[in-house]
Amino acid sequence: MSHGSSSLFIGGQWVTSHSAEVNTVINATTEEAMGRTPIADAADVDAAVAAARRAFDGTGWSDLQPGERADAMERFADEMAKRSTLIAETVTAENGMPISLSVGANGFSGAGLLRYYAGLIREFPLEEIRAGDLPGNILVRREPLGVVAALVPWNYPQGLAMMKIAPALAAGCTVVLKPALETALDANIMAEAAAAAGLPAGVFNVVPGGVEAGQALVAHPGVDKVSFTGSTATGRIIGEVTGRLLRPVTLELGGKSAAVILDDADIPAAVAGLADVSFPNNGQTCTANTRVLAPAHRYEEVLDAVTDLARSMTVGDPLDPATAIGPVVSARQRERIEGYIATGRGEGARLTTGGGRPAHLDRGWFLEPTVFGDVRNDMVIAREEIFGPVIAVIPFRDENEAVALANDSDYGLAGSVWTGDTERGLALARRIRTGTIGINGYRVDNAAPFGGYKASGLGRENGPEGLMAFFQVKSVLLPTAT
Ligand code: NAD
């Protein structure tokens, strides 16, 4: 890398951190140090916000024609794509994501989002003339909100960051990204790509940090919009702060989504599909469908199939393309998941497979894919986000009960319906109170608005809706006399 471990990307340059604190990023598979970054403090955040402020107020990023911003974003995308292998492998080492997933979810997702929003802003109507209800026309303008604070977790660090950065840049905003400390190294690769693409100084800044930097950024007087992805607990704190400040905020939070398998589904095919829908990224996925709802009269058949699926998944080195389940991100996270497994046993759920650490792996924070049967929806393991490879299989009597169970959750982020009849699946999907839901599958699409009902968040990312989150709307009342 072109910069030292004490550097932060601020104002288009690698500058020495004000903080003396060092963040050592640990490889989740080898448990060895893989690199270092500073832990940004409030003074570093100040410098980054000042750079973003100057870039917004003074240097014309927001005044460029949308097509010129789109050109710059496409150059940024090209530089990201050139680094896709490095990005994918770095994230896999940092957080244990199987490389087969990381290539798309980290390696190419950033470039894809930049291209998607570059295309959108070229065509997007930023001004429209509207006939007034009173005499006279109105010019309705969409103006960039200003300096954006983007705070992201470690589980899909590249895609989640770019779901904020790409629409913000397209809208004409400037950005300060605060990556999580666990995945600070891949954020620096993003910064290198931005520099190589010649993005104007200060338009994009990176300050890896923990709670101190996060709090300083969210509350900073120079910030106009906060876009946060992370846990519901932290989201509530950020919502309180931004509420007091009357600062626009988007919150993408936790989930406990349901996969509803209807009685007309091809069960082997449906359960095979759950490999990617229920266990993605070793379960460290906000959209993971970790509650599998099965028709009571086919319950044992579904439970057996999910159990067999979990047993068949290859657990091991996440850099191996054949690996389905890598380690979880940290020792602390593994202990937390093990605590939930103990809770599930204690509340009377039936462990059908997994529940422990794989015997053949003596290093790395691995856990066996784990399935619980005989789960009731009021058990802790059915209500709380475990964020590991742990699935609860819950029976339902009829479609109405399936809908009631799916909706009986504090969360509402994702979900899926599995059926031989798409119309039937669609009818059920309409009744489930969740931000995204798939029929016979699940995917996050750049064009599909993404976000949560209930405790899963506020607002939407992706699609034109994700762009709208970075605009203010101004009405100019045109003269009535012509
Ligand atoms: P977390 O909330 O602990 O941390 C997320 C980010 O917030 C990190 O960058 C962290 O440093 C920062 N942070 C922590 N406390 C802060 C504070 N008081 N003020 C400002 N910033 C603060 O989340 P995590 O455990 O790292 O990530 C996992 C969570 O993220 C899960 O709950 C998961 O469901 C959620 N998630 C949601 C989505 C989504 O789009 N809805 C996507 C991925 C992950």
Q: Tens of pLDDT along 206-224?
A: 999 999 999 999 999 999 9
Query: Please, is 127 exposed, middle or buried when counting C-beta atoms within 10 Å of its C-beta (0-12, 13-18, 19+)?
Result: exposed
How are strands ordered across the β-sheet holding 174-178? 13-16, 7-10, 204-206, 174-178, 147-151, 225-229, 249-252, 457-458
* Closest-CA residue to 59 (of 199, 168, 217): 199
Cα separation of 334 and 337, whole Å?
A: 5
Cα separation of 291 and 210, whole Å?
A: 31
Do 410 and 351 lie in one domain? The reply is yes
| Eight-state DSSP code of residue 29 | T
Q: Tell me how far the alpha carbon of residue 33 lies from the centroid of ligand 1, in angstroms.
A: 23
> Angle at the Cα of 380 (from 375 to 384), degrees rounded to 5?
115
Do 162 and 306 lie in one domain? The reply is no
Quick one: how far is CA 126 from the chain centroid? 27
How many CB atoms sit inside 10 A of residue 342's CB?
11
Do 417 and 465 lie in one domain? The reply is no
Q: Tell me how far the alpha carbon of residue 122 lies from the centroid of ligand 1, in angstroms.
A: 32
Q: What is the pLDDT of residue 6?
A: 82
Give 11's contacts (C-beta < 8 A, 6+ positions apart). 47, 51, 54, 55, 201, 202, 205
Q: What is the CATH number of the domain that holds 407?
A: 3.40.309.10
Q: How many domains does the chain have?
A: 2
* Closest-CA residue to 256 (of 435, 411, 431): 411
Do 202 and 240 lie in one domain? The reply is yes
Do 220 and 316 lie in one domain? The reply is no
Token pair listed for 78: 């090209």
Q: Is 228 helix (H, G, I), strand (E, B) or coil?
A: strand
Report the amino acid identity of residue 374: D
How many CB atoms sit inside 10 A of residue 15's CB?
18
Token pair listed for 371: 């399935």
Cα separation of 26 and 137, whole Å?
A: 59
Residue keyed to tokens 């969740």: 434
Q: What is the pLDDT of residue 1?
A: 47
Do 246 and 99 lie in one domain? The reply is yes
Token pair listed for 171: 């809208």
Q: What is the pLDDT of residue 225?
A: 98
User: Which helix (H) or strand (E) covers residue 46, if one does?
Assistant: helix 42-57
Do 146 and 213 lie in one domain? The reply is yes
CA dihedral 80, 81, 83, 87 (to 10 degrees): 80
Task: Give ligand 1 pocket residues (Cβ under 6 A).
Answer: 151-156, 160, 178, 180, 210-211, 214-215, 218, 229-231, 234, 237-238, 252-255, 286, 385, 387, 413, 452, 457
Report the amino acid identity of residue 187: A
Do 168 and 198 lie in one domain? The reply is yes
- Closest approach atom of ligand 1 to CA 182: 26
Query: What are φ and ψ of residue 461, in 5° steps?
Result: -110, 175
Q: What is the pLDDT of residue 482?
A: 56
Query: What are φ and ψ of residue 366, in 5° steps?
Result: -85, 150
Token pair listed for 249: 């905020």
Q: Tell me how far the alpha carbon of residue 438 lies from the centroid of ligand 1, in angstroms.
A: 24
Do 267 and 220 lie in one domain? The reply is no
Do 341 and 440 lie in one domain? The reply is yes
Cα separation of 280 and 278, whole Å?
A: 6
Low-confidence ranges of the chain (pLDDT < 50): 1
In a domain, 97, yes or no: yes
Range of the domain at 368: 258-445
Q: Which residues pair with 395 in a beta bridge?
A: 294
Do 17 and 117 lie in one domain? The reply is yes
* Closest-CA residue to 443 (of 189, 273, 245, 311): 273
Protein residue whose Cα sits closest to atom 26 of ligand 1: 153
- Closest approach atom of ligand 1 to CA 457: 41
In a domain, 468, yes or no: yes
Cα separation of 87 and 161, whole Å?
A: 13
Do 146 and 248 lie in one domain? The reply is yes
Q: What is the pLDDT of residue 59?
A: 67
* Closest-CA residue to 194 (of 186, 203, 182, 185): 203
Residue keyed to tokens 């029976």: 395
Is 286 catalytic? The answer is yes
